[in-house]
Chains A and B, each alone.
Chain A
Amino acid sequence: MRREIPLAITFLVGMFMLVDFFVPHHAVSSAAAEMKQWGTIVIAASILLGVGNLIRVHYKKISRKQEGWGYSIVTMSVMAIMLFFGGPWGTIQEGSAFNWMFLNVQVPLQSTMFSLLAFFIASAAYRAFRLRSVESSMLLISAIIVMLGRVPLGQLLTRGLPEQATLPWLTEMIMAYPNMAAFRGILMGAALGVMAMGLRVILGIERSYLGGDK
């Protein structure tokens, strides 16, 4: 029973959502939309599970004075501050302290972390220079062509050559043909993989996400 009920639910809901794509009847589509709404609510409700885990891990660190426990205090206290500002007594509107913390601390920190990628993409490119196999040299050559073809330097380098030998032209060709063919191939293959797996989920053959068979 413990195993069958969730599998039966998965099957029924999965099949219903599958049918929704083919049946234009509004009764079906509105029921499907309602269920999608439920899904987002379940996910929203789960956040407390995650935050609970976060609190537990950091609380243990602090109480056992493990290495770096001071930083755990930082995490716990800013979280408490955010909850205080945004709690039922607070407000999350524009201009509120809650929103302000988000805009002035979280957003810049996140975008700075994102911008670290500029350095990391450079070091990864450098690494690619030292790759050995035939395949990886193909990767390197096309990366260099496209990288240069998209900046003014690339145009400068091949100025005066016939059009078919200029970097911007080559870039356009690589993006439009081999690149597209490869990506279509990956997408198609991956799509079949997803569908086979999705079908197994609906049929209850795949159930690792439910935490095993017990």
Chain B
Amino acid sequence: MNQVRRILLVSLALAAAAVGSVRAQETAPQDGIESAALDIVPPGPPCALTVRDYLEHSDSGDKIEIEWGLSPDDGSGAGDVTGYVLSRSLAEGEVGDVLEEIASGATHYVDVSVEPGVEYYYSLEAYDGTNSSERVWAGPVAGRVNLFQWSRLSVLVLMLLFFAMVTWFTAAAGKGAKLFVRRIPGLNAIEEAVGRATEMGRPVLYVPGIGEIDNIMTIASLNILSHVAKITARYDTPLIVPTARAVVMSAAEEVVKQAYAEVGNPDAYNPDNIRYLSDAQFAFAGAVNGIMLREKPAANLYMGAFWAESLLLAETGFEAGAIQVAGTAMVSQLPFFVTACDFTLMGEELYAASAYLSREPKLLGGLKGSDWMKVVSIVLMVAGIVAHIVGLEWFVAWFQTQ
């Protein structure tokens, strides 16, 4: 009898619940409060919260990595977890500030806003839109400052190797070892161009690019300028140097003045020929074009960093009938110099030229060092190809730096 009554009661309750839930579903769209009030079961808490100093990329101690297991109701169980709320505090047992609301399904977060060396406590709760789970805690943890960026080890290794080779050959050259350097065609062209300007009694125009003085191309250019100035000083040929950067202008003044003094013709130096024109790229190009057409240099030398103005200059110079020699490592401008100039020093040739012209053994040593670095690069590349074949993928991955 009791059994029958119990079964009846249970089935009545089930029926009522069923009707209720159908009602709730019907009314849910109109009335969120009623449906929310119905879900009184909080989701299960996330499990196994772990925190640790973020090490993967050898950070500066401002990152902490947080990991957890999904709540039993995230994706399975009740399946109603909408997200997780991560909080951070400075004291154990305190909730502190909400750091981030993280979407469901995630099990990983990197806090990038920590103060290095400070201990933090983290807590995490799952959330189903209405109820929050129990909090899980972890900590204390502190971001440790790293002294070396391990992901850049390969860069350091190659760097040290390169430095060693350059200093080795530089020292060897300093001790008198003979270093062979192949002929660089554009270099003789510079001397021929200056020679022709002298014969014609017309000036030489030397444009050191529009790069700032920190650009190594500009520094290479100043080296070549020193060489050119020595020739013009010897023959008393005017040398015009228009610049787009004030510091480059003042360095060019020093270089040219020094060259004229070294050759023993300091009176021929004309400070008005080293000119600052404009920092604005095309105002500069327009003004240099004006110099080409009005002062009619017979030789135009473009050495250094050039951008889109390269062709404006080189075409105008060609139309004006000057011999033109260019040198740049700006890959995007090389095609234009190659088509519009008589000779072009391409890429590394610009740097090599500046070492070659000085004929200073110390500078030639650097050239030899970078040649050997090329050999090393080629060997590494071939080794990488072989590594692919035999499946040593880690070897290639070693080059992928951060």
Do A and B interact with each other, yes or no? yes
> Taking the complex as formed, is B281 at the interface, i.e. its CB lies under 8 A from any CB of chain A?
yes
Number of interface residues of B (CB under 8 A): 89
Taken together as a complex, chains A and B put the C-alpha atoms of A124 and B254 apart, in Å, by: 36
Identity of the chain B residue whose Cβ is nearest the Cβ of A50 in the assembled complex: B246
Taken together as a complex, chains A and B put the C-alpha atoms of A24 and B363 apart, in Å, by: 33
The interface residues of chain A lying within 8 Å CB-to-CB of B20 are none
How far, in Å, is A76 (CB) from chain B's closest CB? 14
> Taking the complex as formed, is B207 at the interface, i.e. its CB lies under 8 A from any CB of chain A?
no
How far, in Å, is B321 (CB) from chain A's closest CB? 14
The interface residues of chain A lying within 8 Å CB-to-CB of B167 are 203
The interface residues of chain A lying within 8 Å CB-to-CB of B13 are none
Q: Is the CB of B282 within 8 A of A57?
A: no
A106-B280, A208-B226 known; A190 and B213 CB under 8 Å? no
How far, in Å, is B156 (CB) from chain A's closest CB? 6
A183-B331, A186-B347, A205-B170 known; A49 and B339 CB under 8 Å? no
Main secondary structure of the interface of B (DSSP, over half): helix
Q: Is the CB of B61 within 8 A of A26?
A: yes
Q: Is the CB of A195 within 8 A of B162?
A: yes
Query: Which of B226, B308, B329, B352 is within 8 Å of A117, CB to CB?
Result: B308
> Taking the complex as formed, is B212 at the interface, i.e. its CB lies under 8 A from any CB of chain A?
yes
> Taking the complex as formed, is A127 at the interface, i.e. its CB lies under 8 A from any CB of chain B?
yes
Per-residue CB contact flags for chain A residues 85-114 toward chain B (1 = under 8 Å, else 0) read 000000000000000000000100111011
Q: Is the CB of B294 within 8 A of A186?
A: no
Taken together as a complex, chains A and B put the C-alpha atoms of A195 and B163 apart, in Å, by: 9
Identity of the chain A residue whose Cβ is nearest the Cβ of B174 in the assembled complex: A205
Q: Is the CB of A190 within 8 A of B247?
A: no
Q: Is the CB of A208 within 8 A of B311?
A: no
Q: Is the CB of A110 within 8 A of B283?
A: yes
Main secondary structure of the interface of A (DSSP, over half): helix
The interface residues of chain B lying within 8 Å CB-to-CB of A143 are 335
Q: Is the CB of A199 within 8 A of B366?
A: yes
Q: Is the CB of A124 within 8 A of B223?
A: no
- Name the segment of A39-47, A148-156, A161-169 touching the other chain: A39-47
Q: Is the CB of B156 within 8 A of A22?
A: yes
Identity of the chain A residue whose Cβ is nearest the Cβ of B367 in the assembled complex: A196
Closest 9 CB pairs of A and B: A211-B254, A50-B246, A193-B351, A212-B258, A50-B276, A113-B282, A192-B370, A189-B348, A193-B348
- Name the segment of B21-29, B140-148, B383-391 touching the other chain: B140-148
Q: Is the CB of B247 within 8 A of A43?
A: yes
| Additional pairs, 4, CB under 8 Å, beyond known A43-B245, A106-B283 | A49-B249, A124-B339, A190-B331, A192-B374
> Taking the complex as formed, is A68 at the interface, i.e. its CB lies under 8 A from any CB of chain B?
yes
> Taking the complex as formed, is B267 at the interface, i.e. its CB lies under 8 A from any CB of chain A?
no
> Taking the complex as formed, is B139 at the interface, i.e. its CB lies under 8 A from any CB of chain A?
no
- Name the segment of B38-46, B123-131, B214-222 touching the other chain: B214-222
Taken together as a complex, chains A and B put the C-alpha atoms of A125 and B340 apart, in Å, by: 9
> Taking the complex as formed, is B187 at the interface, i.e. its CB lies under 8 A from any CB of chain A?
no
Per-residue CB contact flags for chain A residues 56-80 toward chain B (1 = under 8 Å, else 0) read 1100100000011000000000000
A21-B152, A26-B116, A186-B331 known; A205 and B282 CB under 8 Å? no
Identity of the chain B residue whose Cβ is nearest the Cβ of A140 in the assembled complex: B339
Per-residue CB contact flags for chain A residues 118-138 toward chain B (1 = under 8 Å, else 0) read 001101110110010000000
A22-B152, A196-B369 known; A206 and B277 CB under 8 Å? no
How far, in Å, is B238 (CB) from chain A's closest CB? 14
Query: Which of B280, B311, B316, B335 is within 8 Å of A139, CB to CB?
Result: B335
